[in-house]
Amino acid sequence: MVIGQSIDAYVSLGRIESYLLAENDTSKREVNTDLPEAMLFEDATFTWETVGGSQEGDVGKSEDESAKDARLARDADEKAAVELQAPFQLEHLHLSISRNELVAVVGSVGCGKTSLLAAMAGEMRQTDGTVQQGSNIAYCSQYAWIQNATVQANITFGQPFVKEWYDKVVDACALRPDFKMFTAGDQTEVGERGITLSGGQKQRISIARAIYFNASIIVSVPVTAVASILT
């Protein structure tokens, strides 16, 4: 136990050190509710902090095939930059997305689809230009994060429980069949001491969480090659 805890402490200290030594984020993003567009990029440039994608050890040996495919799709945006020993960048973006518009970003592997959506969500560091958004944003990443709690708690995620809105979200995300499979419906606990969810179930719960948040802009990166933005 002492050896295991010492190793965990060493790894944790390394992560804390990396965080403390990281460059300060000086980028500014304006939230303008009077903006005619949902999102507006003007000569914006974004970059990842490091070269390459995630390490194999960070994902874990227990990931299923769908998670591996999702990880490989995400890492594809940085593969070209690895050869050049430079972080992947999106340069001089000029983009305007109207309100009440559904936009799909489609392209070949490694062309920057995931990076573009990460830039919209603020996950990619902005180095130049301006970005304006017309409202708050909900982000669904390729890797659905599920906390050790009930399915309902994973969907509401700290928001007040409103049954009528909750039922609409559950039906829209096709979670009813999944609830019937769970031992206690949406009160079933998931995580280390609960049941294990499939990749599709995790993604549906992640999307339901974003919709339940009732954000005006939803940025979603599915496990497939096509990524979509719903505003």
Band of the pLDDT at 69, cuts 50, 70, 90? low
Instruction: In whole angstroms, give the CA distance from residue 166 to residue 184.
Output: 17
| Residues 93 and 157 reside in one and the same domain | no
> In whole angstroms, what is the distance from residue 3 CA to residue 202 CA?
33
Cβ–Cβ < 8 Å for 37, 30:
no
Please tell me the distance from the alpha carbon of residue 162 to that of residue 216, in angstroms, as a whole number. Answer: 18
Which residue stretches of 122-216 are H helix? 151-156, 163-172, 176-181, 199-212
What is the average per-residue pLDDT within 23-46?
80
Q: 207 and 155, same structural domain?
A: yes
Find the domain containing 167 and state its range: 149-215
Question: What per-residue string of b and e applies to 18-45 under the rule 16 or more CB within 10 Å gives b?
Answer: eeeeeeeeebeeeeeeeeebbbbbeebb
Is residue 104 domain-resident?
Answer: yes
11: in domain:
no
Average pLDDT, the chain: 79
Number of folded domains that form the chain:
2
Burial class (CB in 10 A: 0-12, 13-18, 19+), 165: middle
With 70 as the cut, is the pLDDT of residue 35 above it?
yes
Q: Do 181 and 117 sit in the same domain of this protein?
A: no
CA 148 vs. chain centroid, Å, equals 18
Angle (CA) 225 168 177, round 5°? 65
pLDDT bin (cut points 50, 70, 90) of residue 171 is very high
Q: Which residue type, as a one-letter code, is found at position 74? A: R
Q: Look at residue 91 and give its three-state secondary structure.
A: strand
Q: Which two tokens stand for residue 22?
A: 């990281």
Judged against a pLDDT cut of 80, whether residue 67 lies above it is answered with: no
pLDDT band at 147 (very low <50, low <70, confident <90, very high): confident
pLDDT digits (tens, 9 = 90+) for 183-199: 888 898 887 655 678 88
CA dihedral 229, 77, 70, 99 (to 10 degrees): 0
Task: Give a yes or no: residue 5 inside a domain.
Answer: no
Q: What is the mean pLDDT of residues 171-182?
A: 90
8 Å CB contact between 66 and 223: yes
pLDDT at 87 over 50: yes
Do the domain assignments include residue 21?
Answer: no
Same domain, 31 and 54: yes
15 in any annotated domain: no
Shared domain check, 172 and 103: no
CB 151 within 8 A of CB 190: yes
Instruction: Specify whether 122 is located in the same domain as 224.
Output: yes
Asked if 97 and 132 sit in the same domain, the reply is yes
**Pairwise pLDDT comparison (158 vs 144), residue with the higher score:** 158
The fraction of the chain above a pLDDT of 70, given in percent, is 77
- Judgement on whether residues 188 and 95 belong to the same structural domain of the protein: no
pLDDT at 84 over 70: no
Q: How sure is the predictor about 50, in pLDDT bands with cuts at 50, 70 and 90? A: low
206 and 100 co-located in one domain: no
Q: Is the pTM of this model over 0.75?
A: no
The answer on 112 and 63 residing in a single domain is yes
Q: Are residues 45 and 86 in the same domain?
A: yes
